[in-house]
Structure 1
Amino acid sequence: MTNIQEALRDLFITGTKNMHAVEKQALSIMTPQVARIEHYPEVADRLRAHIEETNDQLARIDEVLTSFDTSASALKDLGLSMTGGMAAMAHSIAGDEILKNSFANYAFEHFEIAGYKSLLTMAEDAGFAEATALFNQSLQEEQAMAQWIDESLPMVTRRYAGLYAESGSFTAKV
């Protein structure tokens, strides 16, 4: 293995461990959101489905890491999970929590998309065909979720505005 191949392999493994932590963070963000949603069943249903996809993505990442005789970083997983939990908690005290969650989820999906695209570039350049197939599936799921959030944002905004108008308060239920 040349120095370039070794460097690319190391970068890919580090990036894959980072992506594992990012997916753990996603779970720590989405799980509390689902528990609090009351007036947006479509959002709750889609988040539940994406939580299942995220668990599948974690399994794919673990499969890739195992193929390199390594595993995820418990420290990175814990650190990002904690920050995700804090973000979810911060939004829960906002009156317009559902809107803030929608904006944050949209941005986070694009962060994940960028992460998978970067990993795919490295995997293609290094010839890691198994990882390419697995990460392409995860990328497609993240793109579908981002598209769903994009398309549902008008509905969420209108429903929130209606609940606000009925209650006269920013504390309209999630």
Structure 2
Amino acid sequence: MTDAREWLVMWLRDAHAMEEQAETMLAAQAERIDNYPELEQRIRQHLQETKGQADRLRECLEGMGEGTSVLKDASGKLMATAQAVGGAFAGDEIMKGSLVSYTFEQMEIAAYTAIIAAAEHLGETKVAEAARTNLQEEVAMADWLSSHLPGTTRAFLDRAAAGDPAAKR
């Protein structure tokens, strides 16, 4: 039977893989944005935050005498790459990317909320603090995406209606 500590370690590894996936996804997305500079800038900022989040998670695992999961990390990166390739063929790539990003942020928020509860339950205060920091950054990104989605949508629709072939990016 798996004990609470093992669950926390598993969830930290999952979260690390999630951040590895996010890093790949954000980097690909930022490279493909041509006409939405505010969105591109915020994605690049969050890409740096994401790298810091992965580092914090790695430090948490190491502090518990554990390591990351190479298999989970590689799987996450592979999924993000496949997603980026698929999105490149969409006529509304900027919209699909925005929706996926917002959805992914919500998953990260849920994951960190659970990790905080588990870490507090086990008295792992450093893990809980690191997860809180990551959570704050994820909430800020989700809020930003949510508040800017209407403007991105209108800009996309205006460009598309004008026949701009680069509206999608």
Which of the five TM-score ranges fits, normalised by the shorter chain? over 0.9
State TM-score, norm by structure 2.
0.96
Check conservation: 2:4, 2:122, Cα contact below 8 A: yes
Residues 26-75 of structure 1 show CA distances to partners (whole Å, capped at 9, x for unaligned) of 11111111001111000100000000000000110011001111111011
Residue identity in the other structure for 1:56: G
Query: Does 1:145 find its partner at 2:146?
Result: no
Distance in 2, matches of 1:121 and 1:135, equals: 10
Residue identity in the other structure for 1:59: D
Q: Report how many residues are paired.
A: 169
Query: Does 1:69 find its partner at 2:51?
Result: no
Counting only pairs closer than 5 Å after superposition, residues 1-174 of structure 1 correspond to structure 2 as 7-167=3-163, 172-174=167-169
Distance in 1, matches of 2:130 and 2:164, equals: 48
> Between the two proteins, what is the percent identity of the paired residues?
34
Check conservation: 2:35, 2:167, Cα contact below 8 A: no
Distance in 1, matches of 2:65 and 2:164, equals: 57
- 1:168 Cα shift? 6.6
Secondary structure, counterpart of 2:47 in structure 1: helix
Check conservation: 2:119, 2:127, Cα contact below 8 A: yes
Residue identity in the other structure for 1:172: A
For structure 1, which runs of at least 5 residues remain unmatched after alignment? none
C-alpha change, 1:168 and 1:45, in structure 2 (3 Å) is closer
For structure 2, which runs of at least 5 residues remain unmatched after alignment? none
CA RMSD in angstroms comes to 1.4
Residue identity in the other structure for 2:21: Q
Query: Rg bigger for which structure?
Result: 1
Q: Which runs of 4+ in 1 moved over 4 A?
A: none
